[in-house]
Structure 1
Amino acid sequence: MTATRTPLRSHDAILRDATTLCAGQQFADALALLAPIVGETASANDAALAHALQLAATCASGAGEPERAKAFWVRCSEAAPDFAEGYRGLGATLAQLGQLAEAEAAYERLTELRPDDIDAHHHRGLVLQRLGRYASAEASQRAALALEPGHVGARYHLGAVLHDQRRLDEAEAAYREALAADPQCAMASNSLGNLLCERGRFDEAEEAYRQALLAQPQFPEALNNLAALFKARGRLPEAELACRLALQMRPDFADALNNLGCVLTALKRLPEAENAFRQTLALRPDFADAHYNLGCVLHTTERVAEAESAYREALRLAPNRVEAANNLGCTLLALGRLHDALAAFHHALTLRADMAETHFNIGSIMKELGELDHAESAYRRALVLRPDYGDAMFRLATLLISVGRFEEGFLLYECRYGMPGFAPHATQSMLPCPRWQGEPLTGKTLLVWQEDGLGDMLQFGRYLHALKARGAARVAFACVAPLHRLFAEVEGVDVVLSHEAALARANEFDCWISPLSAPLRLGTTLDTIPPPLRIAQCPSRVEHWRARLADLGAGHRIGLVWKGNPKHHNDAHRSLPMLNALAPLWGLPGVKFVSLQKGAGEDEALSLPACFPILPLGADLDDFTDTAALISQLDLVICVDTSTAHLAASLGKPCWVLLPSYDVDWRWMHGRDDSPWYPETVRLFRRGREEPWPAVVERMRAACAQWLGV
């Protein structure tokens, strides 16, 4: 029996069948058919195999094997140097692989072989744009348009390369020409929207993004851009929706996730924002903006050590990101690492010397380091760069007041009326009568309006008498309830009102003023500070507290306050950690202590063993009249920087104040252990920069022993 041999298929038949498979997207099967013909390495027959190599390269690309496709295209172009389609395919594959210089060379050869090939010029222009060779990219797109003026892709990409060169007028014209040729060119509408946003033409930009989405509803980039526009315009719910729609279309869209985090941050939904930024970084660990944005959220939520790490990573990835350098300095400042913070701010200035915020931050550090001249210069530089910089003006004002330069300091202090985050800004919009500017008061009715804290009112309540003495027919003081009884007996006050009652009667007044504006309007200097507020004592309350203290027996009586209001911006620094921080005082012989502490920390005095020489009375104090009556029966008050210090000093009672090492209030001046606001009454114990509280308390104990003669 003779075996039957299967006839070999012809070269042409294989090419024909492989072409059919390729057309049907059966790329792997087509490659398998072609393998015996083309092999995997160059051969002497490659010149005759140009079309087979072209087909194999096309199939390899379709099968997701770009490196294999590249090898076939290289063989094809080397074997047939004049085969134009080989260079077209090679250029496209190299561009896909990111090998841009080689791709540009392939397209250049293609344009030499086919000077009239529109797509060759167009695609060469795309590669040149990616290489940053904008002038050459522009020339390539213009060459394509010279051959076909209506080529939408070339017109659009001409706009893109002009946009990259910041030639915005020309870029806008090119985008609009592309859209005139094809109104459904979604990419052109989207890019036009971006350009219009840059130019501040937001209504037109929104319309452009909407046109892009009408042309191509599944266009997550356009949705994300629209979301950014909504956020910039304060339309946050719409911005959130646009981001989420973009993410429905493309769940791994890192830019949209980052944008969503920014929107959620603006909505103050910080845990959700943090989650969005962390998801972004899971997708793109090298996304500098997301690290920076995460740092901002962590900083806002007072996780400053984590924020520091986020800002440092942002700077590692984007060394020129000046906002990250500035914010890194802010976190280091919050951590108390002043010299590290100063270095970060100086680095930020090397990136952008005209950043007002950074000069402001340097001023704040210089103030804390006691370099007041440098601090003043930094604040003034910030104001030169941004004349409406309220925080810089306010800090400069308080700095000047703290060194006794009252005239300019209190004048600048009026800036608080232009700062939306400050209570005074709201006051002027609520009260219909004008603010008093120092004009004659004779015969007028004046409303004095409390805008600041209790201690401020006790310190600056001294001006009520002076205002009445200017000839005001009637002076009303609007304040919070704890001050009512005390100020009802103050000379110069005709009536004490709640804020609500004063607001209801505001039309009855000719003008109004805050007590903290009085030093400016009355021309106060360091040498002309009026005497402290004169507080009338309630005899029955004085007698009540004299009886309560009788049980202490003989000996000096010292009142104690060791914590302030925990809501105060600097309470972490000004308050003692606990009552036991004052324990060295317990050893002073013959001294009896009275707790005046109310609110936070009040229970600490109750929990001490009975053998400790301290009587807890804070819970029994109703208001400042009560506290004043109790203080009148003491020999000395020791306290942190709270309203009690102003009350005791106004009563003429010796008052020793523990001041923090950081952000000392301007009212205590700079570098003094006394106070011109309370001469011969207040003594200040300032905590040094690296000094622990126990060392300050020990200094106070030694001074107390000397004062008592024990």
Structure 2
Amino acid sequence: MPQPNTPDTPVSRFVAVAQSCIQASAQDPNASEHWRLFDELLVSFNDVAEQDALPLIEQIMNEGAMRFVARTLARRATERFAHNARAWYLYGRTALIISSDSPEAGPALERAWSIDPDADLLLPLCRAAAFVAGKQYPEAEAACHEMLRRAPDSADAYSNLAIAMRGQFRTNESIAAAEAALKIDPAHEHAPLNLALSLVDAWRFDDALTLLRHTIAQRPDDDRIRLPLGELELRLGIWQSGWSNMHARFSLPGLREQLRAREQECGVPHWRGEPLEGRTLGVWLEQGYGDSILLIRFLPLMAERVRALGGKLVFGCFGPLVELFRPLIPADVELNVDFLKQTDFHTPLMSLCAPFGFGNDTLPGEAYLGADDADVAQWRKRLGVGDGRLHIALTWTGNPQQTRNDIRSLPLAQLEELLATENVVFHSVNPAASALVATLRDKGFNVIDWGPELKDFITTAALLQAADGVVTTCTSIAHLAGAVGAPTLLMLDRVASFIWGAEHERTAWYDSIRIVRQAHYGDWSDVVARTREALTVQAKAASTRSK
């Protein structure tokens, strides 16, 4: 901030308060003095003329600790100078600086664009970033091209263009855009990751691996690179370094808070190989239900290793999974439901995979979970198994909060095509899908909704084991079906989760799963056709058996 020339002008008063605010923020941003100065700054801003207000906001934007203040001032500027495109631009830009997926940014930038597209050279680039955050990829593409028209050597524009192309399943164009960004700026912050992800989309796994390893060597503390590197290594069966690099997942906001809560709020240190003689090690589930079902197979071996080290294992389990997991929990392992009791050390379940060396030789593909035989028999009666028709448990979408849910889910048109398979009764185990199932039934499709009755995973497991087979997309149901050994057709998008590896039809994790993967990114037509073909063969066999 510049030094005030006189103490009596609105600008000099604002600058003086801003300097005090910056100093207070650097010392303690939560101090009451900081908030008093912030209020004073807003009041003084109201007296600053339009021609002076916006340059002052831009100066404050460059002060890291003052970015939230800059956003508030920019929002105030849009109230005072609603006709000024640059005020709206600064509001949108400061919102993006604070959070790349800010809901405030897009509307503000569009307002700026509607008033004056030339409000700032970087306005198209900011619009592209906001469109990317909102998954409006065609609009992001157009904004990137406008930015490149203005600044042909904008590496940022090419990097965002790579994301826009990838979001539209235009993999080769995405690769070309990311490579263009790196040609302009070899040290670009985001382009290496965008290129690596696009190379994975293209199944150029070796090229992606080389790029990620080269980048992490230059940026050893960049978890944004280390996490996809770990995922790719696990996809390719490079177990030790893959499991180790997966610790970078705790850079993600939700998981970071979970780790901080245990280590700082509960005062339990993360286990890093310390002696366990006479001590307790708390192991907890930090991932979703599907990953928990996947990794629980290792719990008995983990307990054995902890026991050999003289320690005692305490297992923190999600409530809905307790009855499903209970038979797998060793007798000397203490079960703690939904939260982890005070222990000497803690560690997430996945984090034990690296120190204990889990890999191919500890990766059983056979069933390791299962429901009670009597419950399975009861479900067979309820489903009508054996009546001459093929009875298939079905999921076509997962948790809508999952970042890839729109990519991994079967679109409605393809779902209806699948449901049209003759002599097949589909049993929906999708939660919260009753309204859609009712609509599908009204259209004449043979689908039954069991979602409201499936209150826990052990009940769902019994249904999956009772059915003739399972058809699912990449959801927790896929993991549950594989864990109980149910014959399963897994419909995957072209790349899908790293868990499903780099093979086309089989996975080392589950012997009972056959993968039906997209031949082309974003195209489900071939997946549905092959799934229907397999179901038709099974349906004919079911009809023959009943005669």
Range of TM-score over shorter length: 0.7 to 0.9
Question: After superposition, what is the alpha-carbon deviation per residue over 1:316-374, rounded to whole angstroms, capped at 9, x for unaligned?
Answer: 12223322221122112212222222222222223212114111111111111011111
Whether the 8 Å contact between 1:441 and 1:470 is mirrored in structure 2 is no
Matched with 2:32 is none
Matched with 1:334 is 167
Label 1:385 to 1:323 Cα distance change in 2 as closer, same or farther (>3 A). farther
How far the C-alpha of 1:287 sits from its partner, in A, is 2.6
For these two proteins, the number of residue pairs brought into alignment is 513
Whether the 8 Å contact between 2:389 and 2:539 is mirrored in structure 1 is no
Please tell me whether residue 461 in structure 1 is matched to residue 284 in structure 2.
Answer: no
Matches within 5 A, 1:170-249: 223-231=53-61, 232-236=63-67, 238-240=69-71, 242-243=73-74
> Based on CA coordinates, which of the two structures has the bigger radius of gyration?
1
Matches within 5 A, 1:103-142: none
- Match 2:316 to one of 478, 487, 490: 478
Label 1:557 to 1:283 Cα distance change in 2 as closer, same or farther (>3 A). closer
- Match 1:445 to one of 259, 280, 297: 280
How far the C-alpha of 1:309 sits from its partner, in A, is 1.9
Equivalent position SS for 1:608: helix
Distance 1:551 1:702 in 2: 20
Matched with 1:499 is 338
Whether the 8 Å contact between 1:281 and 1:287 is mirrored in structure 2 is no
Matched with 1:696 is 527
Structure possessing the higher relative contact order (Cα contacts under 8 Å, 6 or more residues apart): 2
- Match 1:525 to one of 325, 334, 359: 359
Please tell me whether residue 542 in structure 1 is matched to residue 376 in structure 2.
Answer: yes
Question: After superposition, what is the alpha-carbon deviation per residue over 1:85-118, rounded to whole angstroms, capped at 9, x for unaligned?
Answer: xxxxxxxxxxxxxxxxxxxxxxxxxxxxxxxxxx
Structure ranking higher in helix proportion: 1
What percentage of residue pairs aligned between the two structures are identical?
Answer: 24
Label 1:538 to 1:474 Cα distance change in 2 as closer, same or farther (>3 A). farther
Matches within 5 A, 1:662-677: 663-677=495-509
Gaps of 5+ in 1: 1-171
Distance 1:542 1:383 in 2: 49
How far the C-alpha of 1:218 sits from its partner, in A, is 5.0
- Match 2:403 to one of 556, 560, 569: 569
Task: Name the amino acid aligned to 2:70.
Answer: A
Task: Name the amino acid aligned to 1:648.
Answer: A
How far the C-alpha of 1:411 sits from its partner, in A, is 1.1
Equivalent position SS for 2:324: helix
Distance 1:244 1:690 in 2: 41
Matched with 1:324 is 157
Equivalent position SS for 1:347: helix
How far the C-alpha of 1:668 sits from its partner, in A, is 0.5
Whether the 8 Å contact between 2:504 and 2:516 is mirrored in structure 1 is no
Matches within 5 A, 1:60-459: 223-231=53-61, 232-236=63-67, 238-240=69-71, 242-243=73-74, 255-265=86-96, 266=98, 270-271=103-104, 274-275=107-108, 278-279=111-112, 282-283=115-116, 285=118, 287-417=120-250, 419-424=251-256, 426-431=258-263, 432-438=267-273, 441=276, 443-459=278-294
Task: Name the amino acid aligned to 1:462.
Answer: R
Distance 1:450 1:664 in 2: 22
Equivalent position SS for 1:354: coil
How far the C-alpha of 1:514 sits from its partner, in A, is 1.8
Whether the 8 Å contact between 2:112 and 2:119 is mirrored in structure 1 is no
Label 1:692 to 1:258 Cα distance change in 2 as closer, same or farther (>3 A). closer
Whether the 8 Å contact between 2:469 and 2:487 is mirrored in structure 1 is yes
- Match 1:658 to one of 491, 506, 523: 491
Task: Name the amino acid aligned to 2:54.
Answer: N
Matched with 1:32 is none
Q: Would you identify which runs of 4 or more consecutive aligned residues in structure 1 move more than 6 Å?
A: 182-186, 244-252
Equivalent position SS for 2:470: strand
Equivalent position SS for 1:310: helix
Label 1:235 to 1:286 Cα distance change in 2 as closer, same or farther (>3 A). closer
Distance 2:446 2:361 in 1: 41
Question: After superposition, what is the alpha-carbon deviation per residue over 1:163-193, rounded to whole angstroms, capped at 9, x for unaligned?
Answer: xxxxxxxxx9xx99xx9xx87899x999x99
Gaps of 5+ in 2: 27-36, 542-547
Equivalent position SS for 2:359: coil
Task: Name the amino acid aligned to 1:336.
Answer: F
How far the C-alpha of 1:244 sits from its partner, in A, is 6.3
Equivalent position SS for 1:653: coil
Distance 1:336 1:709 in 2: 36
Equivalent position SS for 1:523: coil
Whether the 8 Å contact between 1:443 and 1:471 is mirrored in structure 2 is no
Equivalent position SS for 1:557: strand
How far the C-alpha of 1:401 sits from its partner, in A, is 0.7
Whether the 8 Å contact between 1:261 and 1:273 is mirrored in structure 2 is yes
Label 1:435 to 1:246 Cα distance change in 2 as closer, same or farther (>3 A). closer
- Match 1:512 to one of 346, 359, 372: 346
Question: After superposition, what is the alpha-carbon deviation per residue over 1:658-703, rounded to whole angstroms, capped at 9, x for unaligned?
Answer: 1112x41000001231111113x11111111157323222222333
- Match 2:517 to one of 686, 689, 703: 686
Equivalent position SS for 2:268: coil
Label 1:277 to 1:290 Cα distance change in 2 as closer, same or farther (>3 A). farther
Task: Name the amino acid aligned to 1:687.
Answer: Q
Distance 2:277 2:467 in 1: 41
